[in-house]
Amino acid sequence: MVQRQLPNPAELLELMQFKKPQLDGKKRRLDGALTIDDLRTIAKRRTPKAAFDYTDGAAEGELSLSRARQAFQDVEFHPGILKPAPDVDTSVDILGGPSALPFGIAPTGFTRLMQTEGEVAGAGAAAAAGIPFTLSTLGTTSIEGVKAANPHGRNWFQLYVMRDREISYELTRRAAAAGFDTLQFTVDTPVAGARLRDKRNGFSIPPQLTLGTIINAIPRPWWWIDFLTTPKLEFASLSTTGGTVGELLDAAMDPTISYDDLAVIRDLWPGKIVIKGVQNVEDSVRLRDAGVDGIVLSNHGGRQLDRAPIPFHLLPSVRKAVGDDFTVMIDTGIMNGADIVAAVAMGADFTLIGRAYLYGLMAGGRAGVDRTISILRTEIERTMRLLGVASLAELEPAHVTQLTRLVPVARDASEAVVR
């Protein structure tokens, strides 16, 4: 029989220690976000549909994005036991400089559309965390503005080759003059992908007021107050505005981009140059042999060619083909620090986060980006400890199995190809 007694008032009082309420609404909601998906939920609640869908969406059926995320979810880790790692070192040397974490902030266009602090919030958060920040050609803060926001940290610039080549050349010169140390030469956007969410939402730059956008804005007045009381939303590096995203990209990009353009930009750029948007082994080897400093395996976050290769699945083959001394980075689909650990184990030197950063930005401006970085840092450190590794250098393919749901078949349907 269980012995029962009257409650002890002193013990009851000890149990009734209520948590002090957090009166700062932004801090309260960000502190309550434990994952990047939590930040996404907050971002969706606080951001107009067209702006949120521009960030969250991808091309056509969005298969490239969903497959990239599924690839990380299908990772199986293999921890070592009796290998204590009370302290872990998450730092890495990448492209001639340090990063406190094995990820940086990827280039994103129209960033002030998501939240008015835009690239300034991203660059400031990157500076505080000791990681690189990448400014897009289609950014809404100038090269010089990002430098002011991150004067002592590592700034990278992402370059599109435009139909008017002189625009691209001048942007290259400006980024070099501002002390940006790495150029991401992007090669996967000869034309715009079919981003159907944007078309269905009537999304344009700058945003246009319609009955639908007004109705959608009613529960989100803070976004519109920020939008209407801050400087006009426009490209900081380009003069072209007005139209859908696809129309703007098609007007600016040039499908004739080639290795000749790479040679010209290489001559103009004094720092490190990496090619972003590489999607097969053959191009990886050719670019290494062409003398670039590295590549980014990327399908543009699933925003260009739907059903494109999954960068994480491609990673082991590329690493084997290019060798250990060539810089290979990866993006697309990263939503957890464990994804980053898996990528490093499978051969990536570094990773880039895009949507994860923007979800934080939409959820809480600069503080939200800080929260994104904090969540990923915690997940990276915890995963490393659970694997029994004290540094990124200790991660190796034996720590990871890439489970796959998509097995390619031979042209002869009777013969399966096992990777």
Q: Supply the CATH number for residue 387's domain.
A: 3.20.20.70
Rounded to 5°, angle at Cα 124 from 122 and 130: 100
* Centroid of chain to Cα 349: 15
Q: Which residues are catalytic?
A: 300
pLDDT of residue 345: 98
Average pLDDT over every residue of 112-138: 96
pLDDT of residue 239: 63
pLDDT of residue 205: 63
Q: What is the pLDDT of residues 316-346, one digit of tens each?
A: 999 999 999 999 999 999 999 999 999 999 9
Distance, CA of 346 to CA of 395 (rounded, Å):
8
223 vs 29 pLDDT, higher one: 29
252 vs 79 pLDDT, higher one: 79
DSSP per position, 291-309: T-SEEEE--GGGTSSTT--
The percentage of residues in the chain with a pLDDT greater than 90, rounded to a whole number, is: 69
293 in any annotated domain: yes
Contacts of 404 (CB under 8 A, 6+ apart): 71, 74, 313, 419
Average pLDDT over every residue of 28-57: 95
Distance, CA of 314 to CA of 310 (rounded, Å):
6
Say yes or no to pLDDT of 244 above 70. Answer: no
Instruction: Give the global pTM.
Output: 0.91
Question: What is the span of the domain harbouring residue 231?
Answer: 25-395
pLDDT of residue 21: 79
11 in any annotated domain: no
Q: What is the pLDDT of residues 101-114, one digit of tens each?
A: 999 999 999 899 89
Overall domain count for the chain: 1
Average pLDDT over every residue of 206-225: 75
58 in any annotated domain: yes
Say yes or no to pLDDT of 124 above 70. Answer: yes
Say yes or no to pLDDT of 52 above 80. Answer: yes
pLDDT of residue 353: 98
198 in any annotated domain: yes
Say how many CA atoms lie within 13 Å of 377 toward its Cβ.
17
Q: What is the pLDDT of residues 339-379, one digit of tens each?
A: 999 999 999 999 999 999 999 999 999 999 999 999 999 99
- Other beta carbons within 10 angstroms of residue 138's beta carbon come to 22
16 in any annotated domain: no
Q: What is the pLDDT of residues 162-201, one digit of tens each?
A: 888 999 999 999 999 999 999 999 999 888 888 889 888 8
419 in any annotated domain: no
Structural tokens at position 291:
């003398």
408 in any annotated domain: no
Of the pLDDT bands very low, low, confident and very high (cuts 50, 70, 90), residue 417 is very low
Mean predicted lDDT score pLDDT of the chain: 90
Distance, CA of 294 to CA of 282 (rounded, Å):
14
115 in any annotated domain: yes
Say yes or no to pLDDT of 414 above 50. Answer: no
From 247, 372, 255, 348, select the one nearest 298 (Cα to Cα): 348
End-to-end CA distance of the chain: 62
Say yes or no to pLDDT of 412 above 80. Answer: no
Distance, CA of 117 to CA of 119 (rounded, Å):
7
Say yes or no to pLDDT of 386 above 60. Answer: yes
